[in-house]
Structure 1
Amino acid sequence: MSAHTILEHAPIGAIVAWSDGTRRPPEWHCKKPADWKNNNSQGRLIRKHCGRDAGTLGGNGIFTLHEADFGAGAVIAIRVHRTFSLGSSLRFTIIEHPPVGAVRVFNRSGDHAELVHLAPHRAAARQWLSEHGYPKAVLEEVTADETAADAVEGRAVA
């Protein structure tokens, strides 16, 4: 899939992989596996921004994937987010859709909202919020209608 397809069709909370199409180099190479991983990895879709011309391939839309967290114990020191533009030459695949009934926790409402947590159900989302404190958080449940639309339109998990 292209970046344009991800921006238009992938649901927030989906796991998306990206690749440049090259084969993974052997581990005994010192630097090559790390360079390869930069263009071949996966993350959770946490934000989509269509931009003013996103309806065309020349638009300026972007999407952001949460790739990893680094830290110790319950303390996260570094979050790794990757943002891709519509002009990206990488290929994308939806690995997993968020399950029906899961609850997306956004840091705020509006166009600049970002997914901060995907909970298995509403009670777990509320519990997570009580521990992490996002005062302007918005909860949104993943519905069966959303999943059905993907199946009808041929966007099932690849």
Structure 2
Amino acid sequence: MSAHSIFEDAPIGSIVAWSDGTPRPPERFTRKLAAWRNNNSKGRLIRKEPPRIRPTYSSPAGFTLHEADFGSGGVIAIRVHRSFSVDTTLQFTVVERPVPGSVRVFDRAGDNAELVHLAPHRAAAEEWLSRHGYPNAVLDDVTADEVAADVVEGRVA
């Protein structure tokens, strides 16, 4: 499916894979494999951004995926986020949708809110929030209506 379909139909918290359609090179070609992984991976959908139109520039709608965390001893040193425009030529697939009844923890309210945690239930979300410093956090329940749409090849089935 296209990036536009992900922007329109995938709920925040979904695991989304992207691909450029090229076959994976063998392990022995480390540089080619690293380049391939750049355009073929997956991550959790954490933000959707509407298009921006200003007097001097405009930008299309897009979304951001959380690809990985790097650190040690329980301390995250680097977070890898990938942002995509709806104009990209990459192909996307929703690998997993959030489970109804789970709770999304956003860093703040509003359109530019970013998902920081997906908890299995409200008590777990509140417990996680008590251990992490997000003073303006917002909890949002995942509803069955949101994740029930079965998106296939960019169409709602």
Is the structural similarity TM-score above 0.5? Answer: yes
Structure 2 equivalent of residue 29 of structure 1: 29
Structure 2 equivalent of residue 9 of structure 1: 9
For the residues of structure 1 that align with 2:40 and 2:3, how far apart are their CA atoms? 14
For the residues of structure 2 that align with 1:29 and 1:143, how far apart are their CA atoms? 44
| Matched residue SS, 1:136 | coil
* Structure 2 contact 102–118 (Cα < 8 Å) conserved: yes
Structure 2 equivalent of residue 121 of structure 1: 121
For the residues of structure 2 that align with 1:47 and 1:64, how far apart are their CA atoms? 5
Which whole-Å deviations, capped at 9, do the CAs of 1:94-127 have from their partners, x for residues lacking one? 0000001110000000011000000000000001
Unaligned regions of 5+ residues in structure 2, if any? none
Structure 1 equivalent of residue 104 of structure 2: 104
Cα offset, 1:51, TM superposition: 1.3
Report runs of 4+ in structure 1 exceeding 2 Å deviation. 151-156
Report the residue type matching 2:2 in the other structure. Answer: S
Unaligned regions of 5+ residues in structure 1, if any? none
Cα offset, 1:155, TM superposition: 4.5
Against the structure 1 CA distance between its residues 112 and 23, is the aligned structure 2 distance closer, same or farther, given a 3 Å change threshold? Answer: same
* Structure 1 contact 7–50 (Cα < 8 Å) conserved: no
Structure 1 equivalent of residue 83 of structure 2: 83
Structure 2 equivalent of residue 66 of structure 1: 66
Within the alignment, does 1:95 sit opposite 2:95 as a pair? yes
Against the structure 1 CA distance between its residues 61 and 117, is the aligned structure 2 distance closer, same or farther, given a 3 Å change threshold? Answer: same
Normalising by structure 2, report the TM-score: 0.90
| Matched residue SS, 2:46 | strand
Q: Pairwise CA RMSD of aligned residues? A: 1.9
